[in-house]
Structure 1
Amino acid sequence: MDGTKRGCLQPRYNSPVVQVGLIGVVCFCCPGMFSALSGLGGGGQVEHTVANNANTALYTTFAVFGILGGGIYNILGPHMTLFTGCCTYVLYAASFMYYNHMHTSAFVIIAGALLGVGAGLLWAGQGAIMTSYPTQDRKGVYISLFWSVFSFGGVVGGFIPFILNYSSTNASVNDGTYIAFMSFMAFGTILTLGLLHPDRVIRDDGSKVTLVKYSDVWIEACEIMKLFKNRNMLLLTPACWASNFFITYQFNNVNGLIFNVRTRGFSNAFYCVAQILGSIGIGYVLDFSCKCRRKRGFIGLGIVALMGTAIWGGGLASQLKYDSNKSAMNDLDFKNSGSAYAEPFVLYFCYGLLDAMFQTLCYWTIGALADDSHTLSRYSGFYKGVQSAGAAVAWHIDSQKTSLLAQLLINWGLASLSYPLVFLVILLSVTDGTSKQEIEENGLEQPARINFSMISLETKFTIDQQILCSL
């Protein structure tokens, strides 16, 4: 029985599970806290316009550097790329504390744009680590591991404003909230220096993470341009676009609009708990539901599609009960509102469940298309780039005071459009061995081809005898 079958949780520092767990902790501290901050609605401010404009700038630059991030990661390596990316999260949180006192939006918007650059670098590297380090039959497990650790950052981040603003009557969060976020982000930034280079990571079955030495800017630029002609990437574009589009509606217009300040943190913590549960559940299905990997993908997609339809349908029923003119809705409190709080809380919890399931499915599908970290860093960068372009549009749509019902229907429609296209990618390109695309692009041998140089002399002699007898 090989190392993979014995279990994927080996306590070696250079094992994939430790390195994926470590990048999970980095994202716990940086994107996890950023998600908690965004989940407060308007970055914890009563007026959402500044946060919306900052997020529009953020996701615009994120769209560009998300796509470029894979190439930059391949050239600079993990330490410089991830450290630089994480530094921008600290600056972003600091800009909101500055806004609390100065009420000047320029710094917040500039910090948002810089965070888009940093996030592009961080997520391209994260995607490469998460999808290329595990073996093909354990990618769902590793994606779930990362997503659970990362989402737990949102749980902790959600309870920070809940505790620090428990007795506050202000509509905006206090300075201590932003300082706590900055402290976590600074720790995550330092932690990136502990990540190993991919060529030092050894899987539990003894194999090394595939690493092709690319250090030429021109080569990386050409490889990135090829992504826009790649059939699978084009088919996945609607799913990439939809995968963060709904965040604006859920954070600003469900959590941010319906609940008061302390309850937003409480609800957001459980949104992240739901993400953990959703990722673990769908990750198990994608790795263990049956022997055939393609069939597992179909089963996972079917579950996500059915749950997505049900949850967005529930969201529509809830949305019809209120609109953006009912400012009194943000008075709902987890402690004092009784049953009126229960329905939107359960809906928001289900939104978190669906978010993690949808994104885990996307990452699993991308991870099934190749194994080497360089290819998957580009694929992950493309995913985050297109995802961020969609998010930039979503934040801008909300800043224009677009009808909440219209925003919900757009989100539901985008998700529904992506399901059949993901089905095509799984049907055409996901196999039970090395992916077709990896064979074509990297010049690998077909797995079924026999390499006689690897066969023992005894086996060769047996084959020769059988041939002679047949003659």
Structure 2
Amino acid sequence: MASSALESQDAGEKRIWYRRTLFNAFVIGSVGFLAPGLWNAMSSLGAGGAESPFLVNAANALVFGLMGIFCLLGGPIANRIGLNWTLFLGAAGYPVYAAGLYTNNRFGNVWLVLVGAVACGVSAGLFWASEGAVALGYPEPSKRGKYMNIWLIFRTGGPLVGGAIVLALNHGANQKGKGKVGPKIYLIFIALQCIAAPIALLLTKPEKVQRSDGSKVKVIHEKSFAAEIRALGKAVSRRDILLLLPVFWAAYFNQYVGNFEVYFFGVRARALIGFVGNFANLLASQLISLLLDYKCFAVKKRINIGFYYVIFWHLVAWIYGWVINEKFTKEQPDLDWTSEQFTEGFFVILLWYFAQQSLQNWLYYFVSTKTDNISELSRFTGILRGQESFAQAVSFGINTRDWYGGRVPLAVNTILLGLSVVPTWIAVREHTPVEADKNWGSEEEQIHPEIVGEDEKNKIVVVKSNAH
């Protein structure tokens, strides 16, 4: 009966390749590859490839401050103008930022770095709010982990390609020491980032997306922008979201990693780290996505296991990071990839990346199980990424000062991570996932439940076909 219902639904709608979830995953991934992906490639050089980290850290503090504001507003904006136009605007500011880094590297210009930071901050906020909603709201619930991984593979592909370009142009023996990268790199990045915005317009509207299981993306918009803002206020004030605010802040607070690279590694060593370090993100995403889509466990159990998995890797990364940072602070090495201590320092960065990416994937998945309405999901992902952005702004601001041994930013980050554990655990314990993929047989036989009544003890769920 269930399969015939889906056949009936499919019969009335011809499947078109550019409306399928996989195509849209490639669209969102391509924009992520070209815009924030290449931004991350520049960032992974250590302070945007600059010789001194302080101007770039100040610019990045401005980027993430604005990004936090526009991440919060991104959900309401996307629900009014559409996800494709929001994504378009979300990609448009990135090449301006790269242009600022180029003129600073080549001519010592400062003002364009700050203008680029403003443009990038506004764009990035809109980008992340729309991208998160698409990556989590378009796919079938049973495949969220898989599609989140595809999204990340593309986004990490940007730093990989960018890192390969940087490494190719900065591998010479004359670049063993500390300093800044060559200016040609930024011209390549600017050209590639200009392609991102037009690609964003290929995104299918959510109501026209065609999932493989025949289900539809649920879209319930508010009637006006003012109503969207009120809905955002309600979302921010929810108990479960308030409990998650500390971990939203802790997730991406560690921006000391850029200073760590500049302090202790030469240019070509930083170029190698910027390339190879991305594999830690890919591995982290792949491993946790396998867990989050593991159908032998209920969704709630996957979330619980993921919580302790993330804690384990953060303990490993931060204990090891503290030990090596203290050692390097005493010795003040200038590490090339041929140095004996290179591997020690490199593993600090790899573990930080691995733990950080594991946490972000888990958080996005956790938040996505709170609603099956993509409009509400855009608000949740905007809040998540907005708070992460505010945290990054504060962290970059802290790292504009040359703290001895980086102990202040490291201590603040460690304390923040510790403080976030208990409220996050409470949020996990109290969470009831909004599941669309019940274990009611094969995936093809799954159809949507609709709650039609409730007594004092339980809910009566009636399985109802979507074919009308």
TM range (shorter): 0.7 to 0.9
Matched, 1:292 2:295: no
Q: Aligned runs of 1:31-110 on 2, under 5 Å? A: 31-110=36-115
Q: Aligned runs of 1:325-344 on 2, under 5 Å? A: 329=333, 331-334=334-337, 336-337=338-339, 339-344=340-345
Q: Is the 1:66–1:124 contact (alpha carbons within 8 Å) kept by the matching residues of 2?
A: yes
**Aligned AA (1:380):** T
Q: Aligned runs of 1:238-249 on 2, under 5 Å? A: 238-246=246-254, 248-249=255-256
Aligned residues between the structures = 435
**Aligned AA (2:233):** M
Q: Please point out which of 203, 207, 217 is paired with 2:225.
A: 217
- Deviation of the 1:450 alpha carbon: 4.8
Q: Distance in 2 between matches of 1:159 and 1:185?
A: 16
- Deviation of the 1:302 alpha carbon: 0.8
Q: Aligned runs of 1:6-405 on 2, under 5 Å? A: 12-167=17-172, 169=175, 171-214=179-222, 216-246=224-254, 248-253=255-260, 255-288=261-294, 290-323=296-329, 329=333, 331-334=334-337, 336-337=338-339, 339-403=340-404, 404-405=406-407
3-state SS of 1:194 partner? coil
**Aligned AA (2:336):** D
Residue number in structure 2 paired with 1:424: 426
Instruction: Classify 1:207/1:446 alpha carbon distance in 2 versus 1 (closer, same or farther; 3 Å).
Output: farther
Q: Distance in 2 between matches of 1:446 and 1:341?
A: 63
Q: Is the 2:372–2:434 contact (alpha carbons within 8 Å) kept by the matching residues of 1?
A: no
Q: Distance in 2 between matches of 1:196 and 1:49?
A: 41
Instruction: Classify 1:454/1:88 alpha carbon distance in 2 versus 1 (closer, same or farther; 3 Å).
Output: closer
Q: Is the 1:60–1:113 contact (alpha carbons within 8 Å) kept by the matching residues of 2?
A: no
Residues 11-59 of structure 1, C-alpha deviation per residue, up to 9 Å, x if partnerless? 9332223212320121011111111111111211101121011011111
Residue number in structure 1 paired with 2:417: 415
3-state SS of 1:449 partner? strand
**Aligned AA (2:410):** L
TM-score of the pair, normalised by structure 1: 0.87
Q: Distance in 1 between matches of 2:150 and 2:464?
A: 39
Q: Is the 1:2–1:205 contact (alpha carbons within 8 Å) kept by the matching residues of 2?
A: no
TM-score of the pair, normalised by structure 2: 0.87
Higher helix share: 1
Q: Which runs of 5+ in 1 are unaligned?
A: 4-9, 436-442, 456-471
Indicate the larger mover: 346-355 or 52-61: 346-355
Aligned residues: percent identity? 28
Residues 84-105 of structure 1, C-alpha deviation per residue, up to 9 Å, x if partnerless? 1211000000011111233132
Q: Distance in 2 between matches of 1:314 and 1:199?
A: 48
Q: Distance in 2 between matches of 1:177 and 1:450?
A: 58
Q: Distance in 1 between matches of 2:309 and 2:220?
A: 36
Q: Is the 2:248–2:388 contact (alpha carbons within 8 Å) kept by the matching residues of 1?
A: yes
**Aligned AA (1:181):** F
Q: Distance in 1 between matches of 2:98 and 2:276?
A: 22
Q: Distance in 1 between matches of 2:192 and 2:304?
A: 38
Q: Distance in 2 between matches of 1:159 and 1:452?
A: 52
Q: Distance in 1 between matches of 2:452 and 2:267?
A: 58
**Aligned AA (1:408):** L
Instruction: Classify 1:393/1:153 alpha carbon distance in 2 versus 1 (closer, same or farther; 3 Å).
Output: same
Q: Distance in 2 between matches of 1:315 and 1:446?
A: 53
Q: Is the 2:248–2:387 contact (alpha carbons within 8 Å) kept by the matching residues of 1?
A: yes
Instruction: Classify 1:369/1:450 alpha carbon distance in 2 versus 1 (closer, same or farther; 3 Å).
Output: closer
Q: Distance in 2 between matches of 1:427 and 1:154?
A: 36
Instruction: Classify 1:59/1:450 alpha carbon distance in 2 versus 1 (closer, same or farther; 3 Å).
Output: closer
3-state SS of 2:327 partner? coil
Instruction: Classify 1:103/1:290 alpha carbon distance in 2 versus 1 (closer, same or farther; 3 Å).
Output: same
Instruction: Classify 1:101/1:282 alpha carbon distance in 2 versus 1 (closer, same or farther; 3 Å).
Output: same
Instruction: Classify 1:450/1:289 alpha carbon distance in 2 versus 1 (closer, same or farther; 3 Å).
Output: closer
Q: Distance in 1 between matches of 2:201 and 2:384?
A: 25
Q: Is the 2:369–2:434 contact (alpha carbons within 8 Å) kept by the matching residues of 1?
A: no
Q: Distance in 1 between matches of 2:401 and 2:72?
A: 27
- Deviation of the 1:205 alpha carbon: 0.6
Q: Distance in 1 between matches of 2:368 and 2:316?
A: 27
Q: Distance in 2 between matches of 1:445 and 1:272?
A: 48
Residues 371-428 of structure 1, C-alpha deviation per residue, up to 9 Å, x if partnerless? 2211011101111111111111101111122341222222222223323322222221
3-state SS of 1:369 partner? coil
Residues 199-234 of structure 1, C-alpha deviation per residue, up to 9 Å, x if partnerless? 111111101111124451111111111123111211
